[in-house]
Structure formats: structure tokens, C-alpha cells
Amino acid sequence: MEPITIRQPDDWHLHLRDDAVMTAVLPWTARTFARAIVMPNLRTPVTTVEQARSYRARILGALPADMRFEPLMTLYLTGATSAEEIVRARESGFVHGVKLYPARATTNSQFGVRSIADCTAALETMQRADLPLLVHGEVARPDADVFDRERIFLDEVLIPLRRDFPALRVVLEHITTREAVEYVREAPGRIAATITAHHLAYNRNAMFVGADGSAGMRPHYYCLPVLKREDHRRALVAAAVSGNPRFFLGTDSAPHPRRDKESACGCAGCFTAPFALPLYATVFEQAGALDRLEAFSSEFGPDFYGLPRNPGTVRLVRGTPDEIPPVMAGDQEFSALGRDVCRWRMTTAV
């Protein structure tokens, strides 16, 4: 297989955390992606433009001197988010979206939205200002089965929200189900979806079956939204390779210390940044659609966000990625997911 060269991609959904962890994981994204939408769910959430400005400065300060990378900042939506803060966000030039986390749906979401009605003023202003709403699409109530939380969210939250705010630009992030694919493909208005590499490459069996076929729990494959059945994975692959510009790359790379993943109540999140693009390339090759990888990875995202496409390129060659050294932040180790199925590896960014 000949090497492939594509326009340098962007990551439209990324967790960098903060401080020493951010310093440890940031280079793995910056070596591949020119830009990334950075999630605001820090332990103290990024709810204001000034907090986003400070976080952006910390990211750029942690970037190795020989790397170029642009963080695209977001605000964390709460019931207290004001219309005035949305206006400041739009005028800032560096805030590119506002993130809706249903309260207690995922990591550091305890400050999130309990009722969409609490956010009316913010959403109306976002609609007028054309500032995208980025959605973690799951309900978090205890009576909802974890494998059904995305499907229920579509019916109970997203469809009514978009009916009330029909001009709002929406990204349904890290979709995992056939129902989400069908909704994004067919719904009227300005809506798109990101798809992760791990949801394309694995179904939910990966959490429960070891590499040798033995039974067991593999916590590094646990994420939210959780991996789904094989028929859902196939629907995601079909959407990703379809050439439909409503679907584009967002890794949702989410580092957690190994000791927190391998615990009695392990954290949700997959740290895929070191192998993300090779993992996407592997899925596209298996689907016979390598010629569509560039559009999915490098064109549809910036087009939807109204940003220029990147001028540089990246190159991949056939072969298993090299082992990476331990990713450490102090005494904490962060284990990357994805190498086990990759059949491509990164070479250079030009």
C-alpha cells in the first residue's frame, strides 16, 4: 500500500485537562492536528470568556517550541450563563462554541444543565450570534439504561430544543448509535456530528473480552457515551465514509490516570490522541474508503465551523504504529488506546 498524504486535519472534540496532565498529553495532539475544539469540563469548569482566555494561554504556554497548534476554546453552559457572556464569547475571536453537558452525564459534569428552560436567554443569544451549541447527547437520570441514554436524549431533549431554536447551529458530539446517525443525516437545519475513532473501531464487546478471547473487564475501553452493539458501530462507519459533510472527525481523546481507570469505579474516557489518525485511516481502509478520509478529517469540520481549511499536510504509511513511551504527569501514567488495531502510522506533518 502506497503512503497517503492528506490535508492536515483538526480535532473537533478534545480533552486536554490542565497543568501537568495537559503538558504531558498536548504534544500527542499537536503532532497531528493543526487545531482542536478544547472541552471546558475542567475540575473548575470554564464558564466565562476570561476563564477561557486564561486556559488558552496555559495551553499555548505548554506547547513545545517546535510545534504549532491552535486551541479553539469553548464555554461550559450552565443555568447561570448570561446572554451578555454569550455576546462576549462571540466577540472574543477565540471562543468557538458553548458546550451542553447534562448534569452528571460524564466527567466533571456535575455543574451542567439540569433543565434546558434555565438556558433560554443564553440559547436565544447563541442563535442570534451564530455561536454553535456543542452537545453531549445523553440523559443522566437513573432510570435510563446506560446503552439507551443517547437515544432517549434525541427524543426528549434535542428534538424539542431544536424545534424551539431552529436557527441554532448544533454539533451532536461523539455519536454512538444508528438512531443518532439517522437523525443527523435527515434533520432539517444546521446540525452536524462528530464521530470518534474508538467508536468506529470497537463495539461494546471490547470492554468485556480480552485480546486472547478470555472474559474480563477492560476499563481502558470504557467511555461515555459507552461503546454500543456491532450494528451501531457499522452505522457509524457508514456515516463516516459516506461523504456527507454533516459527519466529521472528533476524537474525544480523554486522558485519565491508569490508576483511576483501573479502579473499583473506573473513569469514563479513552486517551486516543497518540494513535487517532492511524486508527481512523484503518477504519476507512477496511471500509474501502481511504479516498474519503481527507474530507472527513480535514474539510467538513472547518467548513461547518466557518473556518479556513489547513494549508499543510500529514503523511501516513502502512504499518503498525511504534510503541510510545509512557505518558507521565508526575507519578501518574496515562495509557493510550488504539494501537492494537491500527494498520497505519504517522510519519510527518508538512
Please give the C-alpha separations between residue 228 and each of 89, 102, 235, in angstroms, as whole numbers.
35, 20, 11
- Residue-wise pLDDT for 29-54, tens only, equals 999 999 999 999 999 999 999 999 99
Alpha-carbon span 113 to 103, nearest angstrom: 5
Among 35-49, 96-110, 202-216, whose mean pLDDT is lowest?
Answer: 202-216
Return the pLDDT at 210: 76
- Angle ∠(174,43,326) on CA atoms, nearest 5: 70
| Active site residue ranges | 252
Predicted pLDDT of residue 1? 66
Is the pLDDT assigned to residue 239 strictly greater than 80? yes
Predicted model pTM: 0.97
- pLDDT mean over 181-188: 98
C-alpha span between 295 and 113 (Å, rounded):
33
Q: Which structural domains are found in the chain, ordered by start?
A: 4-349 (3.20.20.140)
Q: With cut-offs at 50, 70 and 90, classify the pLDDT of residue 349.
A: low
